[in-house]
Amino acid sequence: MKPADDGPGPALRTERFTALREDGLADQRLEGWFDAMKFGFHEGRADPADVVQYAESYAADARILTAVYDDAERPGVWDPAIPVATYATMVNTVNTGGTLLPAHLVTTVTVRPTHRRRGLLRRLITEDLHRAAEDGLALAALVASEATIYGRFGFGAAAFARRVHVDVRERFALRPQAAAAAGTVEVTDPEALAVLAPEIFARFHARTPGSVGRQFSYAQMVSGRWQQHKPEPDRTLRAALCYGDGGSADGYVCYRFAGWDSSPRTVKVVDLVAATPEAYLGLWRYLGSIDLVERIDWPLAPVEDPLPWALQDPRGYEVRHEEDALWLRVLDPAAALQARSYAADGSVTLEIIDPLGLAAGRWRLTAGGGSAAVEPLAPGAAVDLVLGADVLGSLYLGGTSARTLAAAGRLAGEPEAVQRLDRLMARPVRPYCITHF
């Protein structure tokens, strides 16, 4: 997502639409919307023929597009059919650790530099989140390209990933136990992933807290049908499948060589999805066996990655940096908190401060037997802890502890209550998201 500033300013014309019209043709506003979006993300203008394919993709995702237009006439101004701000949403599931919960996904937000500080972002996101809440969605989510703006709208960083470099020269080898457990890998034509990748990802998604369901374009890109920024065949893509003992396809990796001028010679992982631990080890054994390559670059490794513990020389595994992979925003505290699982029994009362008023209020969370009940409290009722909606988003999947957030001044309450909340919200594994949207 592209953040933008907000502030007071004149009203501008806003339109919401879907990518395809009722007659199945691309909406005439879509080409201008793409021009504005690509301008915001510093990409080249889209070919009109490409927009037709994108329209079908967006329709498959059931995306709702929003465009803000400035119709003021000025000599030489860019085409007024190209919006000054873009915004898009779709619904997909988030694995909460208790269920696959439908969530409101916010994406492709841009505001033209000439129209910053006019209140565009605040108006777009406020109206949109209220609309999502009215539609009965308990969570909203986004992937932020910058981390300094969305907290004010109640979003909190909830899941993290690491970029890693793995040395695959002579030092690369799995420990005997890991090698014995690894699945069998075969090279495949990427085209096979058009069908197999969604099936494998669905199994990964179902077992991975923090995972977000994938949009239509993922199958196109991992199969080589589309390049990352253009719906044309990607002939540089290579792929491999990992099979379990029963012969089922349990994981895949697609990747490309960075070129002979890369130093060290590097393979870049485009996507790696494993539905079983054995498939994960098998895919890495394959990557470590590619000839004429010295390093594997993967930008979405889990924070709790078993790979370095499976290597005979874990110093060949280098963490380059860690970043937030998913931001969450609770729209309905009762529905959201009841949709996840709990590792401990107990009760805690919370006051949620919400600048948009969606999740604001005082609540009692009571967990038992792995599930929880959430009930509203009277406005003046005493509570154990006070926190913002953004902090609740960070706590929701268990990716950040209440103790850490309290130490950062983000959560107020007695230490005993903080510890109690941590016991309730703790998860056996860190949340993990490999879907960008």
Whether residue 264 is preceded by a cis peptide bond, meaning omega within 30 degrees of 0, is: yes
Angstrom distance (rounded) from CA 209 to CA 428: 10
- Among the options 54, 150, 204, 218, which is catalytic? 150
Segment holding 320, helix H or strand E? strand 317-330
C-alpha distances out from residue 228 to 73, 236, 299, Å: 36, 12, 15
Cβ–Cβ < 8 Å for 371, 342: yes
| Residue 386, both tokens | 């006070």
121 labelled ligand-binding: yes
Distance CA 101, CA 84 (A): 33
**Distance from C-alpha of 313 to C-alpha of 175, rounded to nearest angstrom:** 9
How far, in Å, CA of 401 to CA of 394, rounded?
Answer: 9
Q: Answer whether 133's CB lies under 8 Å from 140's CB.
A: no
Q: What are phi and psi of 395, to 5 degrees?
A: -80, -25
280 catalytic, yes or no?
Answer: no
Strand order in the sheet with 295-302: 13-17, 64-69, 85-95, 100-111, 139-142, 317-330, 156-167, 295-302, 266-274, 249-257, 238-243, 184-188
Check if 39 is active-site: no
347 annotated binding-site participant:
no
> Binding residue per annotation — 222?
no
Give the pLDDT of the chain (437 residues) as one tens digit per residue.
Answer: 544 444 434 579 999 999 999 999 999 999 999 999 999 999 999 899 999 999 999 999 999 999 999 998 889 999 999 999 999 999 999 999 989 999 999 999 999 999 998 999 999 999 999 999 999 999 999 999 888 889 999 999 999 999 999 999 999 999 999 999 999 999 999 999 999 999 999 999 999 999 999 999 999 999 999 998 899 999 999 999 999 999 999 999 999 999 999 999 999 999 999 999 999 999 999 999 999 999 999 999 999 999 999 999 999 999 999 999 999 999 999 999 999 999 899 999 999 999 999 999 999 999 999 999 999 999 999 999 999 999 999 999 999 999 999 999 999 999 999 999 999 999 999 999 999 99
The predicted structure's pLDDT at residue 127: 97
**Which run of H or of E encompasses 433?**
none
Order of strands across the sheet that contains 346-353? 371-376, 361-368, 346-353, 385-388, 411-413
Domains of the chain with CATH codes? 13-154 (3.40.630.30), 161-322 (3.40.630.30), 333-425 (3.30.1050.10)
d(CA 394, CA 326): 9
Provide CB contacts within 8 A for 407, sequence distance 6+.
Answer: none
DSSP letter string, 36-82: HHHHHTT-PPPPHHHHHHHHHHHHHHT-EEEEEE-----TT---TTS
Here the tokens at position 84 are 């000054």
Is residue 29 a known part of a binding site? Answer: no
- The pTM for the full model equals 0.93
Q: Coil, helix or strand for 133?
A: helix
Pick the catalytic residue from 87, 155, 201, 437: 437
Six-digit token string for 121: 């972002």
Angstrom CA distances, 348 to 65, 77, 242, 309, 363, stand at: 40, 57, 45, 37, 8
42 — phi, psi (to 5°)?
60, 40
**Secondary structure of residue 140 in the 3-state scheme:** strand
The answer to whether 123 and 325 are in contact (CB under 8 A) is no
110 annotated ligand-binding residue:
yes
Residue pair 223/193 in contact (Cβ under 8 Å)? The answer is yes
CB atoms within 10 A of CB 149: 17
- Is residue 356 part of an annotated ligand binding site? no
Structure tokens given for 252:
């895949």
Residue owning tokens 């599930």:
371
